[in-house]
Chain A
Amino acid sequence: MPAVRAEKLYKVFGKRASRAVELLSDGRHRDEIRQLNVTAAVIDVSFEVRAGEIFVVMGLSGSGKSTLIRMLNGLLEPTSGTVEIDGTDITRLSGAALRQVRSRKISMVFQHFALFPHRSVLENAAYGLEVRGVPREERLEKARHSLGLVGLAGWEDRLPQQLSGGMQQRVGLARALAADTDIILMDEAFSALDPLIRRDMQTQLLELQASLGKTIVFITHDLNEAMRLGDRICVLRDGRVAQIGTAEEILNDPANDYVAQFVEDVDRTRVLTASSVMEPPIPVIDPGHGPRTALRTMRENQTVSAFVVRRNRQLVGAVREDAIGEAVRTGATDLAGLVDTAVERVHPDTAVADLFHQAAESPYPLAVVDDDGRLVGVIPRVTLLAALAPPSTESPEPAESPEAPESPEPAESPEDADQATSPPASGALAGSDEGSRQ
């Protein structure tokens, strides 16, 4: 069961909202129904958020993302459609029951922190529990704990205004964590912070998430932030879903021109990982084979080097064609002493940006090795370069990327890549081209 499920959500502001929903569900653009004097903020949005994932909703201002997140905890009532939290349809709940869901299942972090200026940091952090009626000592203890988690131990007695912006948002985060809900909604939580502090906060959120495993719905307008944090990303455009998928899917396989344009400026090297750009390790040489076999294998594949891999795919090292050729001439019968074991190994989750240094130093392609020491792929230098070019969904202007036509396809095995980094994107309910109207 998904932690959060949105099904055909519409939010239209204005008196003739239901008529507008009819027109919109026929596929009209929201600008076409302007004469109804309504504002369509969210149009036909469906998605599922799995327990324990960070689901990022990304869109520019006016794309309806803030409206969307407020429907997830019932602060706004959808015009039509349903929102399920742990299988409960909250759009049917009345005031008290809805408040119960909010205080026990969903907490929220706000763009401008929304800390209570008249309460101390500790009392702010304890607010969720206070609403729930937890006794004073117990809730303060839990609040102290969650303040410790976000690195604010020792600041409990200050007032929020005495803290810097980044620290204030940590208090906001601590307040959500102390409420001890499974789901946390984060509405542009880091957008009001300086870039450097924003990056710190993202790192801290990822670290916390690794140990706490909350279900997080994160709203942002910053694509780099979305790519960095999101297990999956939902791109909103004009109130509709443009695409839902992992960062790599959105980068490498944009559903339409809008998304493609959007991801153009992304620093691809920070989003793409070794596993998403690597190529199948061909050829490989078994350490039991002799130099002749090895030489033949390499010549057949027209390479000057090859990795030596055991039957169970454990990486031993690499060999070079010139050394093997010399060995064949001198009549050596096995590869012992010819295998260079000091090859550069990288983990599948390493960001491409972190590969360049190693790639420049190594005489071989980079070996992508998983946690068990098995060779799962290789990255030749040319592949690394090709990964920098955006995918050619529309005919690119030649001047922009002259290498693109000559280079091989950047990621030949996206399936493998996805399994290594994140769950497969079967939950992409939308992804049609509806949003691509230009």
Chain B
Amino acid sequence: MTAATMLAPLEITLPKAPVGAWFEAAITWVQLTFKPAFDAIGEVIGASVDTLAGLLTEPSAAQLTVLAAAIVAFGLVRRGRPRPAALAVAVWLVLAVAEGAAGVAALAIQNLPAPLFLWAMGLFGADYVDPQLVLALLLLAALVATSLAATRSAAQWRLAGGSSAALLALFVAQHILGVQPALLVMLLFTALALAVAGWRLAVFALLGFLLIISMDKWEAAMSSLALILVATAVAVVISVPIGILAAYNDRASRVVKPVLDFMQTLPAFVYLIPAISFFGVGQVPGIIATVIFAMPPGVRLTELGIRQVDKELIEAGEAFGAPDLQILRRIQLPLALATIMAGVNQVIMLSLSMVVIAGMVGAGGLGNDVYTGIARSDVALGFEGGIAVVVLAIFLDRLTGAVTRFSPAARAQRAAR
């Protein structure tokens, strides 16, 4: 026996596994089979982002009015009057859709005496009546009236009056004084920060967003913000039910966990490729990739939150004869809310980190600036985009963190001290 025979290479030939090709085949098959579904999804997501970006950069009077109405309605729901609020919103929804589809409201307005509208048109310098604005104003009026009539809560009265007054102030500022919308939206953000998280974040929001406007990054930032919010909304809508399922069912939990690991560790670029082939270049594949990347903490923390709820409380619900769904809705979800909100916070943060990657597929916004900066070695452009992302990130993080304080479990914990 010689050394040569001993060292002869023992190469075992393994069959080549064309995993990539299989994946591509599967993707192609899914794409061909479910094309209408994907088109519809893309349509809806694209429309949502455009609407939201429009609201953030150039809010229309109707949108602002609906926003004010939403705040008043939220107050009504919190003070135990969900039914009249829901009724008013439902009627408005039907009318708004009917107007959008058939111009019902416009027809009605044309048949009303003109002097009813002329004074307002003159005051705000408008050259036509927006039927959606009229509908939104009617909704706001209905909700304010309900607040005054159906609740005895002074806080609700203040909320209704304050929202209406703020709306009027915005109209005056925008249409009579001619302040640019960016500053108004920035003020709204500051007010939101003040209401939810206190004056520190309000000061930060004021300075941060002023910086963004000064850097001339406002439109890009709002476009990114719209993308993040839509991605977060989609991720939450998908991840919370999956988290609930995983919390209820150990087998589902065992299946979901490795899938989540897979989604989080697979490089984001890899699922960007099929996303483009499904939805084409633009915002939609960026959002889809963001949703996939950002969803896992939403699922994980929802599951954790629900599993953490004291077993004796569930047993108490059962002992008094509550059905499972009611236990979920009235005991588990409220008590898990703080943890779920921590998950939502994580989803938002991960979405932000995807902004740049989404920019690569033409999602626009700040990601586009950063990507262009890389491509052209333009340090200034890339840095400004990056700073704007950081401002958005801090603002959103502190805001969602503060919202957690309003959760029922957090209130209970504060009461314990």
* CB proximity to A under 8 Å, residues B302-328: 310, 312-313, 315-323, 326
Residues of B contacting A161 in the complex (Cβ-Cβ under 8 angstroms): 412-413, 415-416
Least distance between B357 CB and chain A CB atoms (Å)? 39
Contact with A along B281-316 (1 / 0, CB 8 A): 000000000000000000000000000001011011
Residues of B contacting A127 in the complex (Cβ-Cβ under 8 angstroms): 316, 320
CA–CA, A242 to B98, complex, Å?
75
CA–CA, A104 to B408, complex, Å?
28
A335 within 8 A of B: no
Residues of A contacting B318 in the complex (Cβ-Cβ under 8 angstroms): 75, 102
The verdict on A131 contacting B321 (CB below 8 Å), with A159-B412, A161-B415 known, is yes
* CB proximity to B under 8 Å, residues A110-126: 110-112, 114-119
Q: Which residue of B lies closest to A103 (CB)?
A: B321
Q: Which residue of B lies closest to A161 (CB)?
A: B416
Contact of A107 among B310, B320, B412, B413 (CB under 8 A): B320
Contact B319 A102 (CB under 8 A): yes
Interface of chain B: mostly helix, strand, loop or mixed: helix
Contact B315 A110 (CB under 8 A): yes
Interface of chain A: mostly helix, strand, loop or mixed: mixed
A100 within 8 A of B: yes
CA–CA, A107 to B322, complex, Å?
12
A128 within 8 A of B: yes
* CB proximity to A under 8 Å, residues B19-77: none
B411 within 8 A of A: yes
Contact with A along B403-417 (1 / 0, CB 8 A): 000001101110110
CA–CA, A410 to B221, complex, Å?
91
Contact B321 A110 (CB under 8 A): no
Contact B323 A99 (CB under 8 A): yes
Contact of B321 among A99, A112, A158, A185 (CB under 8 A): A99
Contact with A along B331-347 (1 / 0, CB 8 A): 10011000000000000
Contact B315 A99 (CB under 8 A): no
Residues of B contacting A115 in the complex (Cβ-Cβ under 8 angstroms): 316
A305 within 8 A of B: no
Residues of A contacting B409 in the complex (Cβ-Cβ under 8 angstroms): 117-118
CA–CA, A129 to B316, complex, Å?
13
Residues of B contacting A159 in the complex (Cβ-Cβ under 8 angstroms): 411-412, 415-416
Contact of A114 among B313, B321, B412 (CB under 8 A): B313
Least distance between A343 CB and chain B CB atoms (Å)? 53
Contact B315 A128 (CB under 8 A): no
CA–CA, A179 to B322, complex, Å?
12
Contact with B along A159-176 (1 / 0, CB 8 A): 111100000000000010
A273 within 8 A of B: no
Residues of B contacting A73 in the complex (Cβ-Cβ under 8 angstroms): 319
* CB proximity to B under 8 Å, residues A46-89: 73, 75
Q: Which residue of A lies closest to B313 (CB)?
A: A114
Least distance between B62 CB and chain A CB atoms (Å)? 36
Residues of A contacting B315 in the complex (Cβ-Cβ under 8 angstroms): 75, 110, 114
CA–CA, A75 to B317, complex, Å?
11
Contact A118 B411 (CB under 8 A): yes
A270 within 8 A of B: no
The verdict on A117 contacting B320 (CB below 8 Å), with A161-B413, A162-B415 known, is no
Residues of A contacting B415 in the complex (Cβ-Cβ under 8 angstroms): 158-159, 161-162
A289 within 8 A of B: no
CA–CA, A99 to B321, complex, Å?
4
A132 within 8 A of B: yes
Contact of A179 among B310, B312, B320, B413 (CB under 8 A): B320
Q: Which residue of B lies closest to A118 (CB)?
A: B408
A274 within 8 A of B: no
A108 within 8 A of B: yes
Contact of B320 among A96, A112, A119, A128 (CB under 8 A): A128
Listed in ascending order, the chain A residues whose CB lies under 8 Å from chain B are: 73, 75, 96, 99-104, 106-108, 110-112, 114-119, 127-128, 131-132, 158-162, 175, 179, 185
Least distance between A123 CB and chain B CB atoms (Å)? 10
Contact with A along B204-223 (1 / 0, CB 8 A): 00000000000000000000
CA–CA, A115 to B322, complex, Å?
15
CA–CA, A403 to B134, complex, Å?
99
Contact A131 B326 (CB under 8 A): yes
CA–CA, A158 to B412, complex, Å?
10
Residues of B contacting A158 in the complex (Cβ-Cβ under 8 angstroms): 415
Least distance between A113 CB and chain B CB atoms (Å)? 8
Can you name 16 extra interface pairs (CB under 8 A) apart from A115-B316, A128-B321, A131-B322? A96-B323, A102-B319, A102-B320, A108-B320, A110-B315, A114-B313, A116-B316, A117-B412, A118-B334, A118-B335, A118-B412, A131-B320, A158-B415, A160-B412, A161-B415, A185-B319
Contact B312 A112 (CB under 8 A): yes
Q: Which of B334, B413, B415 has the largest count of A CB atoms less than 10 A from its CB? A: B415
Residues of A contacting B322 in the complex (Cβ-Cβ under 8 angstroms): 99, 103, 131
Contact of B310 among A104, A111, A114 (CB under 8 A): A114
CA–CA, A118 to B412, complex, Å?
6
Q: Which of B317, B318, B334, B408 has the largest count of A CB atoms less than 10 A from its CB? A: B318
CA–CA, A115 to B412, complex, Å?
11
CA–CA, A411 to B320, complex, Å?
44
CA–CA, A393 to B312, complex, Å?
42
Residues of A contacting B335 in the complex (Cβ-Cβ under 8 angstroms): 116-118
Contact A132 B321 (CB under 8 A): yes
Q: Which residue of B lies closest to A128 (CB)?
A: B320
Residues of B contacting A162 in the complex (Cβ-Cβ under 8 angstroms): 415-416
Q: Which residue of B lies closest to A73 (CB)?
A: B319
Residues of A contacting B321 in the complex (Cβ-Cβ under 8 angstroms): 99-104, 128, 131-132
List 30 A-B residue pairs with CB atoms under 8 Å apart, sorted by A's residue number.
Answer: A75-B319, A99-B321, A103-B320, A104-B321, A106-B319, A108-B319, A108-B320, A110-B315, A111-B312, A112-B312, A114-B313, A114-B315, A114-B316, A117-B335, A117-B416, A131-B317, A131-B320, A131-B321, A131-B326, A132-B321, A158-B415, A159-B411, A159-B416, A161-B412, A161-B415, A161-B416, A162-B415, A175-B320, A179-B320, A185-B319
Least distance between B26 CB and chain A CB atoms (Å)? 40
Least distance between B303 CB and chain A CB atoms (Å)? 20
Residues of B contacting A118 in the complex (Cβ-Cβ under 8 angstroms): 334-335, 408-409, 411-412
CA–CA, A175 to B319, complex, Å?
12
Least distance between B81 CB and chain A CB atoms (Å)? 12
- Ranked nearest first, the 9 interchain pairs of A and B with the lowest CB-CB distance are A103-B321, A118-B408, A117-B412, A161-B416, A102-B321, A114-B316, A108-B319, A99-B321, A159-B415
Least distance between B388 CB and chain A CB atoms (Å)? 38
Least distance between A155 CB and chain B CB atoms (Å)? 13
Residues of A contacting B411 in the complex (Cβ-Cβ under 8 angstroms): 118, 159
Least distance between A170 CB and chain B CB atoms (Å)? 15
Q: Which residue of B lies closest to A110 (CB)?
A: B312
CA–CA, A106 to B315, complex, Å?
14
Least distance between A434 CB and chain B CB atoms (Å)? 31
Q: Which residue of B lies closest to A102 (CB)?
A: B321
Least distance between B250 CB and chain A CB atoms (Å)? 17
Residues of B contacting A179 in the complex (Cβ-Cβ under 8 angstroms): 320
CA–CA, A112 to B314, complex, Å?
13
Q: Which residue of B lies closest to A119 (CB)?
A: B408
Residues of B contacting A108 in the complex (Cβ-Cβ under 8 angstroms): 316, 319-320
Residues of B contacting A102 in the complex (Cβ-Cβ under 8 angstroms): 318-321
Q: Which of A114, A127, A185 has the largest count of B CB atoms less than 10 A from its CB? A: A114
